[in-house]
Structure 1
Amino acid sequence: MRLHIVPGQFMVEHLPHATFPEDDEWVALVRAPEGLTVVRDASPFVETERWVGFYGDTAHSLDTPGMLAGVVGPLAEAGVPVFVTSTYHADLVLVPEHRLKEATAALRDAGHGVEA
């Protein structure tokens, strides 16, 4: 699979009592019984863990098996944590920013093409 590194950095927030964020500066939202998870562009003014994203260059249908496993499997084997959110066409796989080189190497070793 061909992946590209999404420009910029992200932050992941958990808002336990929210049903929707107060602003519209988000990239992805997931609402669950334990609260709202918000992925947004990392603010230079907020001290938080920063994440970088890998995204597939080619859209796949929702019934194509193994697409996400093919990406997170090598990362798990390398001990790189992930946070994943999916779109209709592909998956956004986030890894901690300080593990980017390691994640890129693991994906390339697994046969994936990775573009910056």
Structure 2
Amino acid sequence: MTGGQRVQIVPSQFVIEHLPNSTFPEDDEWIALVRAPEGLTMIREAPPWAEGEIWKGFYGGGAHDKPGTLAALIGPLADAAIPVFIASTYHADLVLVPDHRLADASATLRDAGYRIAE
């Protein structure tokens, strides 16, 4: 399914925050927001001093009009027991993996036929 598809490693690092009592963030420093009954989930660039879980991102995977595109991208990561957090855009998907698993995720995607651009 990948056909040598290209995904790019995003140079930023990210944090994922849960704001249980918020419906909108207090600032505009966010990358993606998801509002749910449990509160707000926010992805933002991690500042250099950030503590806790840091995530790195792959961006790409192709058009959303082809069924199975996202599944083909995250399936190999699931098989390798690499956690993911997904934010989809109009053009492609941002697939976040824990920073300490980036090398494993890159190797897994290469083995699955993806071309990784850095």
Is TM > 0.5 for Structure 1 vs Structure 2? yes
Does residue 9 (structure 1) correspond to residue 13 (structure 2)? The answer is yes
Aligned match of 2:41 in 16, 25, 37?
37
Instruction: Report percent identity of matched pairs.
Output: 63
Give the TM-score, by structure 2 length. 0.92
Cα deviation 1:54-82 (Å, max 9, x = unaligned):
011x751x332111101100000111000
For structure 1, the residue ranges without an aligned partner over 5 or more in a row are: none
SS at match of 2:30: coil
Partner Cα separation in structure 2 for residue 46 and residue 80 of structure 1: 22
Show the counterpart of 1:91: 93
* 1:51-70 → structure 2 map (5 Å cutoff): 51-56=55-60, 59-60=62-63, 62-70=64-72
- Alignment match of 1:23 (pick from 24, 27, 44): 27
RMSD across aligned positions (CA): 1.1
SS in 2 for 1:114: strand
User: Using the alignment, how far apart are the partners of 1:112 and 1:12 within structure 2?
Assistant: 26
Give the 4+ runs in structure 1 shifted more than 3 A.
Answer: none
Q: Which has the higher strand share?
A: 2
Deviation string for 1:68-112 (max 9, x for gaps)?
101100000111000001001111000000000000000000001
TM-score by length of 1: 0.94
Q: What's the counterpart of residue 54 of structure 2? A: 50
SS of alignment partner, residue 99 of structure 1 = helix
